[in-house]
Amino acid sequence: MSVLSKLKPTPVFDSYLSFAVERQNIFWKRLQGKAFPWSNDSILSNWKFTNTYRVLDRVSQYLVSEVIGRSEQNIEDLFFRIILFKIFNRIETWQLLERELQEISWRTYDFARYDAVLSRAKNSLVPIYSMAYVMPSPGTVFGEERKHQNHLRLLEFLFANRVPHKIANAKSMQEVFETLRQCPSFGNFLAFQYAIDLNYSDIIDFSEMDFVIAGPGAKDGIAKCFEHRADYTSEAIIEIVTKNLDALFDSAGLKFNNLYGRPLQLIDCQNIFCEISKYARIAYPEYQGVSGRTRIKQKYKTAQSALPPVALPPKWGLGLKNEDTNSDKNVRMELLK
């Protein structure tokens, strides 16, 4: 723990490590079809928390398998599908658009057709947005009456300003982030999250250890995990923890069952700080953090079923043959021509 001595870890950080291990064990048990409950931890057994690896969460799995996996492999369609999906961040909305429009691509995009489908849903009181990662409406920029209409105009703006190609030619994850950050409605947190989503595709290919932005939840978790910030930013703390996880797990006597040999990345450890913030509301109510929140919103209503097969970006090469990995690199070269 000496690497973190300047920060003075609290008992919440001990739970950060055990949470990462136990939440990942829950994932493996569910994947193997084992019966509920999957943990002896009463908090993890009763309340919903995201996976230790961001890519394993339900929406990210759908993004990788259905939105990216079923797309034409060109910059415009991949970018359009990813950003459209993430703006709403709701699987049911994507499925509605697919049923009504048949094909979702930039090549066949038409504002009136997309607006008609989404407006009918709104008029019928069908929710079209997820409560997670809500993007603010750029209504003051584009002037449409409804939020979804302004978001469609935002997509048009991105293409008019050649943002997909700027991103495809970016030299780093930070450059992708900065490109998105300059666009209407993109704050720091969303620009980073969307950069990660785009990086699941073959538009770009950067390490998830290159760059991180701490969201509000992660900052709250960091405040609960450490008594002193010293001179470190939240992003620096995430990087220190991520790069020293193996030693930290060892010193705590914990065994982490990783994802087919893939270690936790900066984005994953950022997310875990967010989740431990929620966990601590019950386990360590005396640690207030910076958000002031005291309750966890989502509780298990019924035991969940076994998980479907895992969908991962092929370029990660997890469990793939060498020739598959090389073929994936060739696809990216075609994209950038």
Split at pLDDT 50, 70, 90, the class of 295 is confident
- Is a pLDDT exceeding 90 seen at residue 220? yes
Grouping H, G, I as helix, E, B as strand and the rest as coil, residue 22 is helix
Give me the mean pLDDT over the 76-96 stretch: 97
36-50, 142-156, 236-250: the lowest-pLDDT one: 36-50
Instruction: Please report, for residues 2, 177, 208, 310, the alpha-carbon distance to residue 192 in angstroms, rounded to integers and kept in the order given.
Output: 30, 5, 11, 24
Split at pLDDT 50, 70, 90, the class of 307 is confident
**For residues 121 and 80, is the Cβ–Cβ distance under 8 A?**
no
- Is a pLDDT exceeding 90 seen at residue 296? no
Split at pLDDT 50, 70, 90, the class of 324 is very low
Tokens of 187: 């704050």
Split at pLDDT 50, 70, 90, the class of 35 is confident
pLDDT of 320 reads: 43
Split at pLDDT 50, 70, 90, the class of 331 is very low
Q: CA nearest 139: which of 128, 147, 131?
A: 147
Give me the mean pLDDT over the 208-237 stretch: 95
Cα–Cα distance, 293 to 295 (Å, whole number)? 6
pLDDT of 166 reads: 98
- Is a pLDDT exceeding 50 seen at residue 332? no
Mean pLDDT of the chain: 91
% of residues, the chain, pLDDT over 70: 92
Split at pLDDT 50, 70, 90, the class of 268 is very high
pLDDT of 207 reads: 98
- Is a pLDDT exceeding 70 seen at residue 58? yes
pLDDT of 293 reads: 78
Cα–Cα distance, 155 to 186 (Å, whole number)? 12
pLDDT of 305 reads: 67
Tokens of 43: 């908090």
Cα–Cα distance, 272 to 40 (Å, whole number)? 19
- Is a pLDDT exceeding 90 seen at residue 86? yes
Say if pTM beats, i.e. exceeds, 0.85: yes
Please report which residue ranges of the chain form alpha helices under DSSP H: 11-31, 42-46, 58-62, 75-88, 91-101, 111-123, 139-142, 147-160, 163-168, 173-181, 188-199, 216-225, 234-243, 245-251, 266-283, 322-335
Split at pLDDT 50, 70, 90, the class of 300 is low
Split at pLDDT 50, 70, 90, the class of 304 is low
Cα–Cα distance, 23 to 2 (Å, whole number)? 25
% of residues, the chain, pLDDT over 90: 79
Tokens of 67: 């939105």
64-78, 193-207, 270-284, 306-320: the lowest-pLDDT one: 306-320
Q: CA nearest 7: which of 233, 292, 220, 212?
A: 233
